[in-house]
A and B are shown apart, each in its own frame.
Chain A
Amino acid sequence: MSGEELVSALLEATGETAQMVVWSTLLTVLFGLPLGVLLVTTERGGLTSAPPVKAVLGAVVNVGRSLPFIVLMVAILPFTRLVTGTTIGTVAAVVPLTLGAVPFFARLVETALRGVDRGVVEAAQAIGAGRTRIVARVLLPESVPGLVAGLTVTIVALIGYSAMAGAIGGGGLGDLAVRYGYQRFDTAVMIITVVVLIVIVQVIQSLGDLVARRLSHR
């Protein structure tokens, strides 16, 4: 591959990866954040104590977490087709990516929310704040640094998953590396692709750390 071809291939692949990761991240937050909140509030003695609900949610999340991503991806192909009308391409890849990341992110949200001092929640209750207000104005704001850290880890994981999703037709950097490096023995392309991935992950992790630190007032 010529230098010029390589650059344009890299740009295109990076764009595809970005597309997959951005969309699946947005959807993961959309579903995973409320799920994580519920995992905390539905436990016995929680804000909306409902142990049976907690048991079901916990089980669902655990199943989702224990499924290897590659298996999940294949297993939900019919669902992916139902939602997007296709099983290949970046848009189709967003479905398994989101499904794989939601339980992961939800657990991280749960952990972050558990870091909020019980006494602070109690103080809010003593003040006469309602449950919605306590979630929106106490639990979530108080755990913002933890949530940002969790989101960073999730995005990095999604970049990894997206490489896998790409390999079965989603495109992106992972796909590029596999196609050239593995199937055509073009080691240079593979190495460059890997370097690009490493740089992206580094940048995102550092950015996430920085934001988390900036938002922490502890």
Chain B
Amino acid sequence: MIKLTDLRKVYENGVVAIDGVDLGVAEGEIFGVLGQSGAGKSTLLRCVNLLERPTSGTVQVDGQELSGLGRADLRRARQRIGMIHQHFALLSSRTVAGNVAFPLEAAGVPRAERAARVAELLELVGLADKAGVHPAQLSGGQKQRVGIARALAGRPSVLLSDEATSALDPATTQSILALLKRLNRELGLTILLITHEMHVVKSICDSVAIMSEGRIEEAGRISDLIATPGARLTREIFPLPEPAPAGTVTVTFAGQADEPVMSALVRKFDVDVNILGGSLEELQGAPVGRLRIRLDGKGAADALAYVRERGLLVEVAA
């Protein structure tokens, strides 16, 4: 749905913000880009709707190559790409309904149709009763809901989100994330979001890319990355002392959390299991955990084979 090829962005001041990025976002998925401040996340996102002109490389959205479009065509393409912003970016001079109507005006939708569509959108984000209120009277979470309604006005296939929850408190963040997930499911909306909070990725993302200094260090579906030895994502979600001390075993399990694997080891292989550390997280509602253990006893090798057989990822520190 979104395809970035060999993208580079060098700002006039010489800063290389994006340094050769290839990225593909599949239809209907929620794709998170994680990275520290200055990694180039915002620049990357702004390249997708060409708010920022890439220095080189191509941008494709919904099968359409954007970089070559003229001004008018680009405007039309942008009407089909929704965007929400960290600081909401609402028009303070307009009411909630007026804000949501803005993209419809820009797209030339007739007045009567606009009113109906605005009502429908406000209903969708749960703000039907706030239509006539000015943004200044809304809470942060409500403002972002207006932002989301506005972004959806043109029935976009893609929604871009630049730190949409970074200015919100944890509870409000959760409700906005739940709304995004619902829109993703109900409308089949593809979402590309950038964030510096692992929490956002854990709650709603299907795929993730980790970005640092303008490059993508690691990208893929979260379930695949969890099953990949040495994945940076796994290490970031489950922080354990790195590097793992020699002789220790790190086990990552997804979904098998309810199987009594550890006690089975002790019983079947006559080994001592010494738990050194670990944590359990919910990834999109499913439990995933990571455990660092030390195995002592003659049956240790067989025990590891058994764990591997059960589909758990086993990493042995040399």
Residues of A that sit less than 8 Å from B by CB: 117, 119-120, 122-130, 133, 137-138, 141-142, 144, 217-218
Beta-carbon contact of B92 and A123 below 8 Å: no
Interface centre among A122, A127, A141, A217 (most CB of B within 10 A): A127
Partner of B78, one of A128, A141, A142: A128
Q: Contact partner of A127 among B87, B106, B134, CB < 8 A?
A: B106
Q: Which of B79, B91, B154 has the most CB of A within 10 A?
A: B91
Nearest A residue to B95 via CB reads A217
- The residue in chain A whose Cβ has the minimal distance to the Cβ of B79 is A128
Q: How far is the CA of A36 from the CA of B301 in the complex (A)?
A: 78
* Chain B interface (Cβ < 8 Å from any Cβ of A): 49, 51, 74-79, 81, 83, 85, 87, 89-94, 102-103, 105-107, 134-136, 150, 154, 160
Tell me the nearest residue of chain B to A125, going by C-beta: B51
CA distance A144 to B90 in the complex (A): 16
Q: How far is the CA of A201 from the CA of B134 in the complex (A)?
A: 32
Instruction: Please tell me which one of the listed residues A128, A133, A142 contacts residue B76 in the complex, with CB atoms under 8 A apart.
Output: A128
**A127 touching B136 by the CB < 8 A rule?**
no
Across-interface contacts of B106 in A (CB, < 8 A): 124, 127-130, 133
Chain B contacts for A128, CB-based, 8 A: 74-79, 103, 106-107, 154
CB-contact partner of B92 in A122, A126, A217, under 8 A: A217
Say what secondary structure dominates the interface of chain A.
helix
Measured CA separation A133–B106 after assembly (Å): 8
A-B contact pairs, 20 of them (CB 8 A): A117-B87, A117-B89, A119-B85, A119-B89, A120-B91, A123-B89, A126-B49, A126-B78, A126-B83, A127-B83, A127-B103, A128-B79, A128-B103, A128-B154, A129-B102, A129-B103, A141-B91, A142-B91, A144-B93, A217-B93
Known: A117-B89, A119-B89. A137 touches B105 (CB 8 A): yes
**Lowest 4 CB-CB distances: which A-B pairs, in order?**
A123-B89, A128-B78, A128-B79, A217-B134
| List of A residues within 8 angstroms of B150 by Cβ | 127
User: A127 touching B78 by the CB < 8 A rule?
Assistant: yes
Contacting residues, chain B, for A133 (C-beta < 8 A): 105-106
Instruction: State A127–B156 Cα separation when bound (angstroms).
Output: 10
Q: Which residue of A lies closest to B74 (CB)?
A: A128
Chain A residues in 8 Å Cβ range of B89? 117, 119-120, 122-123
Q: Nearest residue in A to B72 (C-beta to C-beta)?
A: A130
The residue of chain B having its C-beta at the shortest distance from the C-beta of A141 within the complex is B93
Nearest CB of A to B82, in Å: 8
B102 & A124 in contact (Cβ 8 Å cutoff): yes
Q: Across the interface, do A217 and B87 meet the contact criterion of CB distance under 8 Å?
A: no
What is the CA–CA distance of A185 and B199 in the complex, to the nearest angstrom?
A: 81
Docked Cα-Cα span, A142 to B102, in Å, equals 13
User: Which of B77, B89, B105, B107 has the largest count of A CB atoms less than 10 A from its CB?
Assistant: B89
Kindly state the separation between the CA atoms of A126 and B49 in the bound complex, as whole angstroms.
7
Q: In the complex, how many angstroms separate the beta carbon of B29 from the nearest chain A beta carbon? A: 21
